[in-house]
Structure 1
Amino acid sequence: MSYLTHAGRAEAFVLDHERTSWHDETLWFVRQKRDKAVYAVPEFQELRELASQIKNHTLSRLDFYLEQFEAAAQANGVQVHWAADAAEHNDTVLRIIRQRGASRVVKSKSMLTEECHLNPHLIAHGIEVIDTDLGERIIQMRDEPPSHIVLPAIHLKKEDVGDTFHQHLGTEKGLTDPQQLAEAARQHLRAKFLAGEVALTGVNFAIAETGSVVVCTNEGNADLGVSLAPVHVASMGIEKLIPRLSDLGVFTRLLARSATGQPVTTYTAHYTKPVAGRELHIIIVDNGRTQQLGRPDFRASLKCIRCGACMNTCPVYRRSGGHSYDFTVPGPIGSILSPNIDLKKHSTLPFASTLCGSCTDVCPVKIDIHTQLYKWRQIVAEANHLPTAKKLGLKFMGRLLASPAAFKISGSLGRKALRLLPHGLTHHHAANAWAIARELPEPPKQSFREWYQQQASPTA
């Protein structure tokens, strides 16, 4: 089976120059908000280091903390379930819903349920699933996946939202006022909240000491759904654990500042015990995480707290759009996680990076993202998953660079060709994709080697 490359998927997005520029500028604005929020906290770098150490410690004793969490949660009256993969997770959710005789579900934003493709599974079995996060609801209406883990509809403009609401909610054609569009969504979702029989949420943090799960939102939709529905199902990846309640403050100070430049998320809800007469289910999901845990070079990627900061700063993500990654988690961190799931399918994602290191610089838990991307490239090459053109090109360049004589001759020919050939030929997109949006520098008349030899022997 052949898979479309990242560049191939990005092509349609990049062709719309206006949207690409707008997407780039919008995400850079969010990155700048992050910087301002960070600079206002003198101890921010110490918080990053502490968070990194807490996560490192937790991952090193993950089996212990998982068992501690399960025991504490069960002591609180929580029903704990384990799922080895996406299929088992989805079947567990469906079984809980059917045990209640329910058919209407309200769901807050959860990247894990997106990863497991829960919505299509439930809908195929006759369950109505309504995403209640505004961005998620918009893309659900459009039958699109999220393009960002924090800003799922960031690829859309208000005109796109207006057209979508006109089609699905019957709003006035051409309506683009954000306040009026938000009010239309609010009225639409209110009835869904009231009718919800089961509330599904993700988990931002799970506390082993108390058996509690913490859900962070800015819209309060998770809180409303859980408060109204008699059954709450929380889906958590095994990497969401932290040891103690006292550790939580470190991460809540980092999460919102890194994600959107806020001091803290508007709603930070703790769920420890089910309300009398109600049910609280927690599904602990692996789905490839223990495999990643077993990879020493990539274990640190499980420290991710899903803030999206690496996406907001990445020059490739900002200009190619989240859908070009064809993975639930796009951007730099997704390019590390995806090869662990399917190396062949996602073999081009580690190359969707300049390796500039900006993603590593902004990561609140100090994941060495660009280093891991580089290491994945080696694995992709060793597994023979490089495109044929790239394999041949690298093989040719390896031989060329290994031969001083060949390198000298090719440099001389290249300089002469750039001076003598017409601009339309040297910059043609078919022959030189690099020059589509860039101007090549003026070719020097002599190489550095020639210049150096001249300086070393001025009389020669």
Structure 2
Amino acid sequence: MGLTTSTKPFKERLEDSKKDVFMQQAVAKAQDTQWVKREGARDKLGNWQEWRELGESIRQHTIAYLPDYLEQFSDNVAKQGGHVYFAQTAEEANEYVKQIVLDKKAKKIVKSKSMVTTEVDVDPMLLTLDGVSVMETDLAEFILQMDDWDEPSHIVFPSIHKNREQIRAVFEKKLGYKGDNDPVNLARCAREVMRKFFLEAEVGITGCNFAIADSGMINLDTNEGNADLTISIPKTQIVLMGMERIVPTMKEAEVLDNLLARSAVGQSLTTYVTFAGQKRADESDGPEDFHVIIVDNGRSNALGTAFQPVLQCIRCGSCLNVCPVYRHIGGHGYGSIYPGPIGAVLSPVLGGYKQFGELPYASSLCGACTETCPVKIPLHELLIEHRKVMTDDLKMKHGFEDFQMKVIGSGTASPFLFNSAIHMAHGGMGVLSKKSPTSVTNMYQFGGFINKGPGLVKGWTDVRDLPRPPKYKDSFRKWFKDHKAGADND
């Protein structure tokens, strides 16, 4: 899977998404439910805007001094007997994981939910090793694994596109489940399978919400406790973390944990907030062999550029839960493991414009994502910046679309051409206008509406009616000109 979740072209993915009615209903319900929970949890905390500003300042400070904090963290992990490896690419990260598994002669590996392990494709690599089996222990990720490694569709709720009957059918096929589709019974079935695997696993793999620079510890936030078991039972633990997921001290981690819990799931705090590292002599459980892989994989592309703020992200998924585009196309439409507004900004940074150049255009630029972001990433502004880079700097827009934009640019830049277009719009659009009766008479009073527009207009008229422009004598500009003239005469 890796960063890319589909080989289909963007438009084909959109067509598939438009046909998936259940997914659209599930996403809409989740967005509405999360709105109530999220805003309630934020109000309960109080002074939410001040908390956002604090979160933003913590993340900006850390990114500004990233090399220093990464070095401090690495040194502190080593002092406790652990190991840190800096992986420039996904291939380097995978090779390091592979070598540990082979050295330990491990056959069973448990994983807690981690976006980075999915991004670098750890699972497929492990499954190529002779005799090695892997178990995803987050319930949603477990469901996707049982369904032949289906693609995730949300950062926080990966299996949001599946209903309980679909899950029951998957469990029946893969696990021999004989029960009903009650979520409690389905969860019990998954727990029974996972628990046995936990007790037999030699290696545990987790992600990292935040790494604590001054202590060498990692911070994990979960609601199921699967990450705690992944850390405490296997003798060897491997942590994969994006290089930006670091904070100076425990104090900053606590601030970000508060922001994360309220923004991701609408809770005051997630059920399990864990700080862990190499097992100490006086501890009864925990990893005896502790490895942290700090992954770049394209993140350094953002440093020192207009896109550096995207590295502030704490992966709460709040922007997905307010985005009108995500509401209609779901996660699979984006073709990236990072969907929604954050994915539309981050994916081109990590994977390039050739692979993800359509995503910055999958936005209405309404700004809801920026408004909800707990660390104040200007997401809609970064989407515009991507468009600017592709269009102006890299000259990636060619063909008829580019020609149309140049014509529009020339027309709107010339007062003569612009005024001529206003005078001719009503007559020129007449041949495209549909004049069938409509109940919205005030909207179509100037001679119908256009439902099959040409060129760039087609993207609008495929899904919306476009009222025919009025005659010039009935236009707002003419009214305003006459009104202004009358006021001047008075």
TM-score, normalisation: structure 2: 0.88
C-alpha contact (below 8 Å) 1:5/1:348 kept by paired residues: no
1:319-362 CA distance string (max 9 Å, x none): 11111111221111111111122121111111111111111111
Residue 460 of structure 2 corresponds to: 434
SS at match of 2:106: coil
1:145 aligns with 2:157: no
Residues of 1 paired with 2:151 and 2:397: CA distance? 27
Residue 181 of structure 2 corresponds to: 176
Residue 41 of structure 2 corresponds to: 37
1:322 aligns with 2:331: yes
Residues of 2 paired with 1:179 and 1:385: CA distance? 51
SS at match of 1:284: strand
Residues of 2 paired with 1:124 and 1:449: CA distance? 68
Relative to structure 1, is the Cα distance of residues 447 and 33 closer, same or farther in structure 2, using a 3 angstrom cutoff? same
Match of residue 28, structure 2, among 21, 24, 45: 24
Residue 444 of structure 2 corresponds to: none
Q: CA RMSD in A?
A: 2.3
Q: CA deviation at 1:423?
A: 4.7
Q: CA deviation at 1:407?
A: 2.6
Match of residue 390, structure 1, among 388, 391, 401: 401
Residues of 2 paired with 1:228 and 1:457: CA distance? 82
Residues of 2 paired with 1:65 and 1:53: CA distance? 15
SS at match of 1:293: coil
1:142-172 CA distance string (max 9 Å, x none): 2222111111111112222122112211223
SS at match of 2:84: strand
Between 1:422-431 and 1:373-382, the stretch displaced more is 422-431
Show the 5 A alignment for 1:367-386: 367-381=377-391, 382-386=393-397
C-alpha contact (below 8 Å) 1:427/1:435 kept by paired residues: yes
Q: Structure 2 stretches of 5 or more lacking a match?
A: 1-6, 282-286, 437-448
SS at match of 2:418: helix
Residue 205 of structure 2 corresponds to: 200
Residue 165 of structure 1 corresponds to: 171
Match of residue 478, structure 2, among 450, 453, 456: 450
Residues of 2 paired with 1:384 and 1:163: CA distance? 49
C-alpha contact (below 8 Å) 2:450/2:468 kept by paired residues: no
Residue 91 of structure 1 corresponds to: 95
Between 1:41-50 and 1:147-156, the stretch displaced more is 41-50
Residue 358 of structure 1 corresponds to: 368
Residues of 2 paired with 1:419 and 1:328: CA distance? 45
Q: Structure 1 stretches of 5 or more lacking a match?
A: none
Residues of 2 paired with 1:450 and 1:261: CA distance? 51
1:294 aligns with 2:304: yes
Q: CA deviation at 1:288?
A: 1.3
Match of residue 221, structure 2, among 199, 216, 220: 216
SS at match of 1:309: coil
SS at match of 1:395: helix
TM-score, normalisation: structure 1: 0.93
Residues of 2 paired with 1:216 and 1:60: CA distance? 25
Show the 5 A alignment for 1:43-192: 43-126=47-130, 127-142=132-147, 143-172=149-178, 175-192=180-197
**Amino acid of the structure 1 residue aligned with 2:354:** K
C-alpha contact (below 8 Å) 1:347/1:386 kept by paired residues: no
Relative to structure 1, is the Cα distance of residues 298 and 100 closer, same or farther in structure 2, using a 3 angstrom cutoff? same
C-alpha contact (below 8 Å) 2:23/2:330 kept by paired residues: no
SS at match of 1:328: coil
Residue 3 of structure 2 corresponds to: none
Q: What fraction of aligned residue pairs are identical, expressed as a percent? A: 38
Q: CA deviation at 1:89?
A: 0.4
Q: CA deviation at 1:5?
A: 5.1
C-alpha contact (below 8 Å) 1:298/1:372 kept by paired residues: yes
Match of residue 332, structure 1, among 330, 341, 345: 341
Residues of 2 paired with 1:15 and 1:436: CA distance? 16
Relative to structure 1, is the Cα distance of residues 247 and 4 closer, same or farther in structure 2, using a 3 angstrom cutoff? same
Residues of 2 paired with 1:237 and 1:7: CA distance? 30
C-alpha contact (below 8 Å) 1:210/1:272 kept by paired residues: no
